[in-house]
Structure 1
Amino acid sequence: MDCRVVVEAAVPVYDVETPEEAVRIAISKTGQMLNPDLNYVEIETGSRRTPSGEERVPAFVAADEALVALELQMDVFNVDRTEHASRVARKEIGQRLRNIPLKVLDTEILEDDTAGTDEPDASPDDGAVDGNGSTDRDESAGGNG
């Protein structure tokens, strides 16, 4: 089974004046820590809400320091259960984001036909590599691996 896992990260940022600046720096900092090993992890701003449901900026700034909520999305392939996918994603991301708290927000099972929706964009000599560095599954190899 293949799963998409969303992990929330609390990224500290220093010497910033505005929440918008903190978010930009946090995304850049996180991208640098993940690349080149995990360049397939998508980085998005997290969401924060007040108890009444009002939307807030995903960064809290105090004394020129900020804590930014980011959501990191990663596809995990060939796992037995969604819990296994969550552990794999958290471990892979956590190894590169040392001392940054992580929390698994969501794990969803990817359907087989969703993987085929991206193929028309790939050119024939791309070799279509998945997030773990292996090439697309060869259907003649058994399929139910």
Structure 2
Amino acid sequence: MDRRVVLEAAVPVFDVATPDAAVGAAISKVGKSLNPDLSYVNIEPRRRRSPRGDDIPPATVAAGEALVALELEMVVYDVASDEHAIRIARSEIGSRLDGISLERVSVGPVEDEPADEETAETSDPESDSDGSLLPEFEEMVERNTE
């Protein structure tokens, strides 16, 4: 079975002035560590909620240093269980991110990706997913072929 694993990484960055600069530096730092071997890992800033429901930004800056929360998402193929998928993802990602702690956020089945806009535009809007014509178009075809 294939599983999508999302891990949270706590990435320290230095010499930054703003949270946005910290997020950019953290994504760059992690991206350099993972590429080219793990270029298929998606890296996103992680937003969290406080107990009161307020948004907590992904970066906290103090004295030019920041700690940035990032989500690292990857698909692990042919695993026996969710725990097996997490161990593989933590091992693959963690071995390239020395000194950065990783924590499980979620793990679940790989769902089919929705078709992108380009594919949707090039597909035949008069057809069902199985390729047959929709009923109203079938009637029009029958009327015009008689």
With the shorter chain as reference, the TM-score category is: 0.7 to 0.9
Report how far residue 48 of structure 1 moved: 2.3
Alignment of 1:31 onto 2:63:
no
Structure 2 spans left out of the alignment, 5+ residues: 120-146
Determine the structure 1 residue equivalent to 2:73: 73
Report percent identity of matched pairs: 56
Determine the structure 2 residue equivalent to 1:140: none
Q: How many residues align?
A: 118
Greater Cα radius of gyration, structure 1 or 2: 2
Report how far residue 56 of structure 1 moved: 1.9
Determine the structure 1 residue equivalent to 2:7: 7
Distance 1:16 1:117, change over 3 A: same
Report how far residue 14 of structure 1 moved: 0.1
Per-residue displacement from partner, 1:25-67 (whole Å, max 9, x unpaired)?
Answer: 1001110000011000000000122220101210011110000
Q: What code does the residue aligned with 1:110 have? A: V
Report how far residue 115 of structure 1 moved: 6.9
Determine the structure 2 residue equivalent to 1:87: 87
Aligned to 1:78, the other structure's residue is in SS state: coil
TM-score (norm: length of structure 2): 0.76
Aligned to 2:94, the other structure's residue is in SS state: helix
Task: Provide the C-alpha distance between the structure 2 equivalents of 1:58 and 1:6, rounded to a whole number of angstroms.
Answer: 16
TM-score (norm: length of structure 1): 0.76
Aligned to 1:5, the other structure's residue is in SS state: strand
